[in-house]
């Protein structure tokens, strides 16, 4: 099939079922998950917070003369999320929508023919019709026009080559790091923060804590702006729907295993850490949001390591430890490496048709998990 005769569009109900089956056979089986289990997990997501109000969509690449075919060439899922953006000269962030893209898949028989690049190049027009209108090749656009779209790449910078038009960029990689503490290798030295009262969080407590913390995110962006006022900053909020997404995956794969807690908080303060148990490849606590000071971080980390030890997990993992906590991470035994998989990437669209901002001048803040 000629690439010029393909369009991108939302899947019909029948096509959506086929996408889920394909994903189960590829992503599920590849992760050691039986197809039936993967299908059950998808059913949970389709009813969950991330899918409400039409925010979850399945997109496919199809021939323009046979748009309802079950034999489509590529597919992906998108989640519309609230996003806060702070541009140079702004005194406070503005609110709009962004998109997270996941489960990009081309069937084996169609690989190596340019379908993936064509599909993702057209997705820019589906997500940001105000910036890249293309009614011929993306006749149906999202209900929530996108200011920025993000994805996590396991194919290095491939998505940077998926461009909306000549001379434009695709999804730019943002350098990201992972810090891990093994239960056996961590060393938490005594600090003045040891007297801080730490309280473990239930799943509902973690959700409430994240909901309460959303009001602090504008301040986070303003602090970043002080360090470099020439850049544009963005962060997704609210946070709890994404945490719910991660927690759902965690509970599903843990099965009957009880989760001891879903985070820890310093009583009377805004300092907290939320997490989900996740297998990467050995089961460990993966932190989904961290807000801490130099004094409170060791207390929160110690509590997380205690949970990991008691549950026989391997340790604790944090994406992109905040700069002011990196030295604490080092002295407590954290090992920091640049990520080689699950690479953070984004494409900036802006809110106006003629936005001149390019991705090199944009920073994705609070990219924790």
The model's pLDDT over 100-142, given as tens digits with 9 standing for 90+, comes to: 999 999 999 999 999 999 999 999 999 999 999 999 999 999 9
Both tokens of 195, joined, read 């007297």
- For 20, 59, 78, 109, 162, the CA distances from 10, given in Å and listed in that order, are 14, 4, 10, 22, 19
The per-residue pLDDT for 53 is: 81
Q: In terms of DSSP bridges, do strands 148-153 and 94-105 run parallel, antiparallel, or are they unpaired?
A: parallel
Whether the predicted pLDDT of 231 surpasses 60: yes
The per-residue pLDDT for 29 is: 87
Strand partners, 60: 9, 75
pLDDT tens for 49-96 read 777 888 899 999 999 999 999 999 999 999 999 999 999 999 999 999
- The number of beta carbons lying within 10 Å of the beta carbon of residue 222 is 15
- pTM tops 0.85, yes or no: yes
Both tokens of 353, joined, read 């048709």
The per-residue pLDDT for 184 is: 83
Tell me what the pLDDT averaged over the chain comes to: 92
Q: Find tokens 């190049």 and name the residue.
A: 121
DSSP symbol at 151 = E
In order of start, what are the domains of the chain with their CATH numbers?
Answer: 3-175+342-364 (3.40.630.30), 177-208+256-338 (3.40.630)
Q: Is the dihedral of CA 134, 137, 140, 146 positive or negative?
A: negative
Strand ranges (E), 220-342: 232-236, 263-266, 272-279, 283-291, 315-319, 335-338
The per-residue pLDDT for 52 is: 81
pLDDT tens for 170-212 read 999 999 999 999 988 777 666 555 568 999 999 999 999 999 9
The per-residue pLDDT for 302 is: 93
Strand ranges (E), the chain: 6-10, 56-63, 74-86, 94-105, 148-153, 172-173, 177-182, 198-200, 232-236, 263-266, 272-279, 283-291, 315-319, 335-338, 343-348, 362-364
Give the model's confidence band at 161: pLDDT under 50 very low, under 70 low, under 90 confident, else very high.
very high
- Report how far residue 226's alpha carbon sits from residue 230's, in angstroms, rounded to the nearest whole number: 9
One DSSP character per residue, 39-98 reads: HHHHHHHHTSGGGGGGTEEEEEEEETT-TT-S--SEEEEEEEEEEEEE-TT-SS-EEEEE
pLDDT tens for 335-358 read 999 999 999 999 999 988 888 788
What's the whole-number mean pLDDT along residues 321-329?
A: 96
**132-135 long-range Cβ contacts below 8 angstroms, 24+ apart:** 132/164, 132/165, 132/349
């Amino acid at each position: 099939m000629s690439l010029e005769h393909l369009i991108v569009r939302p899947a019909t109900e029948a096509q959506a079922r086929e996408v889920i089956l394909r994903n189960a056979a590829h992503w599920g089986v590849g992760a050691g998950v039986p197809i039936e289990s993967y299908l059950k997990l998808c059913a949970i997501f389709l009813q969950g917070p991330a899918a409400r109000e039409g925010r979850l969509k399945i997109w496919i690449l199809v021939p323009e003369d046979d748009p309802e075919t079950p034999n489509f060439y590529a597919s992906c899922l998108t989640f519309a999320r609230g996003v806060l953006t702070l541009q140079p000269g702004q005194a406070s962030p503005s609110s709009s929508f962004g998109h997270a893209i996941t489960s990009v898949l081309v069937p084996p028989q169609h690989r190596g023919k340019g379908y993936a690049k064509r599909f993702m190049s057209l997705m820019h027009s589906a997500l940001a019709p105000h910036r890249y209108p293309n009614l011929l090749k993306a006749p149906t656009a999202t209900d929530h026009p996108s200011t920025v779209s993000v994805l996590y790449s396991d194919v290095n910078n491939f998505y940077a080559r998926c461009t909306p038009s000549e001379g434009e960029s695709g999804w730019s990689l943002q350098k990201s790091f992972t810090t891990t503490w093994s239960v056996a290798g961590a060393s938490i030295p005594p600090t003045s923060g040891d007297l801080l009262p730490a309280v473990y969080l239930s799943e509902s407590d973690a959700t409430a804590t994240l909901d309460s913390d959303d009001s602090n995110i504008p301040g986070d962006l303003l602090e970043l702006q002080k360090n470099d006022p020439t850049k544009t900053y963005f962060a997704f909020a609210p946070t709890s729907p994404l945490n719910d997404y991660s927690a759902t995956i965690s509970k599903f794969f843990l099965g009957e295993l009880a989760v001891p807690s879903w985070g820890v908080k310093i009583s009377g303060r805004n300092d907290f850490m939320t997490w989900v148990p996740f297998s990467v490849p050995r089961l460990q606590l993966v932190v989904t949001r961290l807000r801490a000071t130099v004094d409170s971080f060791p207390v929160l980390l110690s509590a997380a390591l205690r949970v990991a030890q008691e549950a026989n997990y391997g340790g604790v993992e944090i994406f992109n430890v905040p700069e002011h906590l990196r030295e604490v991470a080092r002295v407590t035994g954290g090992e920091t490496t640049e990520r080689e998989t699950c690479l953070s990437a984004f494409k900036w669209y802006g809110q106006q048709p003629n936005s001149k901002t390019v991705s090199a001048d944009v920073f994705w803040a609070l990219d924790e998990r």
